[in-house]
Amino acid sequence: MLKKSVKVYCLLGACLLAVLAFFQLQGCSGGGSGTGDTGTLKVTLTDRQSDSFANVFISIKEVRIVPAGLENAVDTDSRLPVVVTYDTPHSVDILTLHFQQEILGTITLAAGTYNQVRLILAPNPSGQGSAPVNYLTLRTAPTVKIPLTTPSAQQSGLKVLGRFQVTPGIINAIILDFDPNTAIVARGNGDYNLKPTGIRIVQPATALTSFGSLSGTVVSTIRDWTSATVSVVPRGETASIASGTIFSNFSSNRWEAPVSAFVPGGVYRLHVEATGFAPYSSPVQTVTTGSDTSLGDILLRNP
């Protein structure tokens, strides 16, 4: 049987909530080998800005994809496809990727479900006076390199969780959403840890080299809305260009969740539907490439 080619593109970024898609990804079961067909996957990275950090550098040695069911496999397991291995570790300043994406690699692999991406990082040198390769600088002291503590990232890899599909016959792309505000945790003694919980996987319909964003915070002061479906629809059309599910958190006497859709420049409405509340449709909003259009609080009301 002639196998279809499925290509996977892997992108990296620090503030990526969605490009043509946005949602909070949950774990799931499934197989990475599915139908036996293959596909191409592109993996990319993009970023969110930080009020505290001037730079956040990570040094990547290798990127691996983890099929569903192999989440606990060691990095050297031959069943974990390697997207890219760098002869010289690839240094990336996450904070330079605002509204941009950096392609980490492309791989052809079995169509099916995948639940994890692993970033294997180079270790920081241990010798006294050696310059770190994984580090941050603060806006208050931009010339001082503060090492990032990433012990697991050198052995088992920085494990980024999130389900994505590799489908034959199309270009598949995933983006690693790196939010330094949650991925980097101060330890209280002047050190900083890098946590994979601050990175997530988003699977857009296509990869964009540049985009704008439409953002806001879905809020209820009446009662919990638990989850909501959010979609972005271009003006004059009925089909959404981005859609997904967000989940509420209780904070400051209200139930809320941030939402941000990264989309091409254009004119859109953002729609929110939550069970037990009236549907919300925003006024027409213009999104400009390279900037954010904020809706502020999106208040859910009784039907």
The kind and range of the H/E element at 155 are helix 151-155
Q: For residue 208, what pLDDT is reported? A: 55
Q: How far apart are CA 70 and CA 115, in angstroms?
A: 9
- Nearest Cα neighbor of 174 from 230, 115, 91, 93 is 115
Q: What is the pTM of this model?
A: 0.62
Q: For residue 19, what pLDDT is reported? A: 30
Residue 77: exposed, middle, or buried by beta-carbon count in 10 A (0-12, 13-18, 19+)?
exposed
Q: For residue 160, what pLDDT is reported? A: 87
Q: For residue 22, what pLDDT is reported? A: 34
Q: For residue 26, what pLDDT is reported? A: 27
Q: For residue 296, what pLDDT is reported? A: 92
Structural domains present in the chain = 1-208 (no CATH), 211-303 (2.60.40.10)
Q: For residue 152, what pLDDT is reported? A: 66
Beta strands 112-121 and 53-67 are antiparallel
Phi-psi category of residue 190: left, alpha or beta, with phi > 0 → left and psi -120 to 50 → alpha: left
Segments of the chain with pLDDT less than 50:
1-35
∠ CA 79-85-91, rounded to 5°? 135
